Amino acid sequence: MEARAAANHRIARITSHLQPPNFKDGGDVLVERAECRAKGGAPGFKVAILGAAGGIGQSLSLLMKINPLVSVLHLYDVVNTPGVTADVSHMDTGAVVRGFLGQPQLEGALTGMDLVIIPAGVPRKPGMTRDDLFKINAGIVKTLCEGIAKFCPNAIVNLISNPVNSTVAISAEVFKKAGTYDPKRLLGVTTLDVVRANTFVAEVLGVDPREVDVPVVGGHAGVTILPLLSQVKPPSSFTAEEVEYLTNRIQNGGTEVVEAKAGAGSATLSMAYAAAKFADACLRGLKGEAGVVECSFVQSQVTELPFFATKVRLGRGGAEEVFQLGPLNEYERIGLEKAKQELAESIQKGIDFIRK
Ligand SMILES: NC(=O)C1=CN([C@@H]2O[C@H](COP(=O)(O)OP(=O)(O)OC[C@H]3O[C@@H](n4cnc5c(N)ncnc54)[C@H](O)[C@@H]3O)[C@@H](O)[C@H]2O)C=CC1
Ligand SMILES: O=C([O-])CC(=O)C(=O)O
């Protein structure tokens, strides 16, 4: 009772100054309460979103705020986090939300986090490839990962910023340099490719997309996105025309959205959904749930490349098991060779950015 009175006193003091509570020590009171709740009830994880005020970041903040596995949600960006934080923090769900603005507040945003999700960086406009974003996004990802290495080296990292085929390699190099690299904890987010594949395949089959599971392997750009239609669940067969149509549509799903948005950015809503789905899987793994399997772009020995997306089993340590490709048909074997060629260059570009 006394603790509650003290907490209320502090909140009253802060609100009387009309300060957003999450930017002052009132946030600490709320976080303490969340931690108490977490101790007494369901376990809660601490999650940070870097780039939280962006197109993906805002919707993702909303979706993580309604995830019952999250007890504390840190929203970091270089602009506009006070508004996004005030807005999201009014939702009557369990997670306590705190906002952090700009580089000087990166330490506060990251300290103590279990999971860090990174959608920071510029999106494509029509006519651009994901690789065209490298120039700007490589530096952003480098800076943020240097912060992670310093302030929450044991956190699981979900990397969304494009080009994912290069930014994952950049992050790995930053962590290696800092001596904190654990390949199991660095995961490139390719869930949107799977989400799209499930949707498009379900349309062709005339079934509910929730009943469909399409493994998508390789990477996250053009021909490096390789849907394995021969392994679709439930087992299904496709005509050669259907395979061609589905493969092209899945590989170009991002471009389809970029063109439809006509200069206003790339996929944000479906991406936030995909990122929330993947983050939830990571949190369920962290909690110790068995059999959590998702596709992700991770350090891998499945091919000769250092990173590759396949199904991985998520556990307390992150990507605890990286699954093999399984049997491929001729069409997929040809696709795999093309994917590997482009991937090799993108990965090397990321490595060189840090080493050179
Ligand atoms: N992995 C995937 O499947 C997908 C990846 N993306 C990528 O996600 C990224 C973000 O996309 P959107 O949210 O649409 O872009 P956006 O421009 O709407 O938002 C990006 C946010 O990042 C912030 N930001 C910039 N520099 C930062 C820094 N140093 N620290 C923290 N935040 C910083 C910006 O202020 C902005 O709020 C892009 O690189 C995009 O290509 C987009 C869709 C799918
Ligand atoms: O296409 C883009 O630039 C954004 C992205 O990665 C996607 O939607 O898959």
Residue 155 contacts residue 182 (beta carbons within 8 Å): no
> What pLDDT, on the 0 to 100 scale, is given for residue 20?
44
Q: Give the burial string for 67-76 (b: 16+ CB within 10 Å, else e).
A: bebbbbbbbb
Percent of the chain with pLDDT over 70: 88
Does the beta carbon of 266 sit less than 6 angstroms from any atom of ligand 1? yes
Please tell me the distance between residue 119's alpha carbon and the centre of ligand 1 in angstroms.
Answer: 4
Q: How far apart are CA 135 and CA 62, in angstroms?
A: 29
Please give the single-letter amino acid code of residue 201.
Answer: V
Residues in the chain: 356
Tokens encoding 354: 């840090």
* Ligand of minimum distance to the alpha carbon of 128: 2
Q: Which domains does the chain have, with CATH numbers?
A: 35-189 (3.40.50.720), 190-355 (3.90.110.10)
Does the beta carbon of 266 sit less than 6 angstroms from any atom of ligand 2? yes
Q: Which of 129, 131, 162, 223 has most ligand 2 atoms within 8 Å of its beta carbon, as the pocket-test mutant? A: 162
Catalytic annotation present for 220:
yes
Predicted confidence (pLDDT) per residue in 10-31, tens digit: 554 444 333 344 444 445 655 5
Predicted confidence (pLDDT) per residue in 155-197, tens digit: 999 999 999 999 999 999 999 999 999 999 999 999 999 999 9
Residues 6+ positions from 95 with CB-CB distance below 8 Å: 34, 44, 47, 64, 65, 67, 70, 71, 72, 73
CB atoms within 10 A of CB 244: 12
> What pLDDT, on the 0 to 100 scale, is given for residue 356?
87
Please tell me the distance between residue 122's alpha carbon and the centre of ligand 1 in angstroms.
Answer: 5
- Phi (first) and psi of residue 208, to 5 degrees: -70, 130
> What pLDDT, on the 0 to 100 scale, is given for residue 2?
61
Please tell me the distance between residue 254's alpha carbon and the centre of ligand 2 in angstroms.
Answer: 4
Nearest CA to ligand 1 atom 7: 161
> What pLDDT, on the 0 to 100 scale, is given for residue 314?
98
| Long-range CB contact pairs, 21-28, < 8 A, 24+ | 21/89, 22/85, 22/86, 22/89, 22/97, 22/98, 22/99, 23/82, 23/85, 23/98, 23/99, 23/101, 27/96, 27/98
Average pLDDT over residues 328-355: 98
* Ligand of minimum distance to the alpha carbon of 221: 2
Does the beta carbon of 267 sit less than 6 angstroms from any atom of ligand 1? yes
Binding residues for substrate: 124, 130, 162, 196
Nearest to 245 by CA among 155, 331, 120, 146: 331
Does the beta carbon of 162 sit less than 6 angstroms from any atom of ligand 1? yes
CA distances, 272 to each of 57, 129, 191, 202 (Å):
7, 20, 10, 21
Give, rounded to a whole angstrom, the gap between the first and last alpha carbons of the chain: 59
Nearest CA to ligand 2 atom 8: 254
Say if residue 213's pLDDT is above 60.
yes
Residue 120 contacts residue 149 (beta carbons within 8 Å): no
Please tell me the distance between residue 277's alpha carbon and the centre of ligand 1 in angstroms.
Answer: 18
CB atoms within 10 A of CB 333: 10
The one catalytic residue among 17, 74, 90, 220: 220
Helix (H, G, I), strand (E, B) or coil at 299: strand
pLDDT band at 262 (very low <50, low <70, confident <90, very high): very high
Predicted confidence (pLDDT) per residue in 124-157, tens digit: 999 999 999 999 999 999 999 999 999 999 999 9
Helix (H, G, I), strand (E, B) or coil at 24: coil
Percent of the chain with pLDDT over 90: 88
Nearest CA to ligand 2 atom 1: 254
Average pLDDT of the chain to the nearest whole number: 92
Average pLDDT over residues 344-355: 98
Tokens encoding 18: 């009309």
Weakest-pLDDT range from 37-41, 112-116, 274-278, 289-293: 37-41
